[in-house]
Homo-oligomer: A and B are copies of this chain.
Amino acid sequence: MKRRDLIKGAGAGLLAAGTGIAAPAIAKGVKQWRMQMTWRANSPLLATGPQLVADYINKASNGRLELKLYAAGDLVSPFQVLDAVADGTLHMGHGYPAYWAGKLAAVQFFAPIPFGFTSQEQNAWFHYGGGQELADEVYGELGVKFLPSGNTSVQAAGWYNKELNSIESFKGLKIRSGGLGAKVLTEIGGVPVQMPLGEVPQGLQSGAIDGADFVGPFNDMAFGLHKVAKHYYWPGWMEPSAVLDCFINKEAWDSLDKDLQEIVKGANAMANQMVLSEFVTKNAQAVKIMKEEHKVDFRLLDPATLGHLGRVSQSVIDDVGQTDDLTRKVYASYRKFIDTVQPYSELSEMAFMNARAQLKS
Contact = CB atoms under 8 A, between A and B. Distances in A.
Interface of A: 56, 59-62, 115, 118-121, 123-129, 153-156, 217, 234-237, 240, 257-259, 262-263, 265-267, 269-270, 272-274, 276-278, 280-285, 287-288, 291, 298, 300-301, 303, 306-307, 310-311, 314, 340-359
Query: Nearest 5 CB-CB pairs, A to B?
Result: A266-B266, A284-B344, A154-B348, A127-B277, A235-B351
How many identical subunits does the complex contain? 2
Given A269-B270, A348-B234, A359 B262 contact: no
Contacts of A344: 217, 280, 283-284, 287-288
Contact of A278 (B115, B127, B257, B350): B127
29 contacts: A56-B266, A61-B259, A62-B257, A115-B355, A118-B352, A123-B273, A124-B278, A124-B284, A125-B281, A127-B273, A127-B274, A128-B281, A155-B348, A234-B351, A235-B352, A236-B348, A265-B270, A269-B273, A269-B274, A281-B341, A288-B340, A288-B343, A288-B344, A303-B358, A306-B355, A307-B358, A310-B355, A310-B356, A310-B359
Nearest to A343: B287
Contacts of A284: 124, 340-341, 343-345
Q: Which of the listed residues A118, A345, A352 has the most CB atoms from chain B within 10 Å of its own CB?
A: A352
A341 B280 contact: yes
Given A266-B269, A340-B288, A343-B284, A352 B236 contact: yes
Given A269-B269, A311-B359, A120 B276 contact: yes
A359 B127 contact: no
Contacts of A153: 120, 348-349
Nearest to A350: B353
A234 B346 CA distance: 10
A222 to B, nearest CB: 16
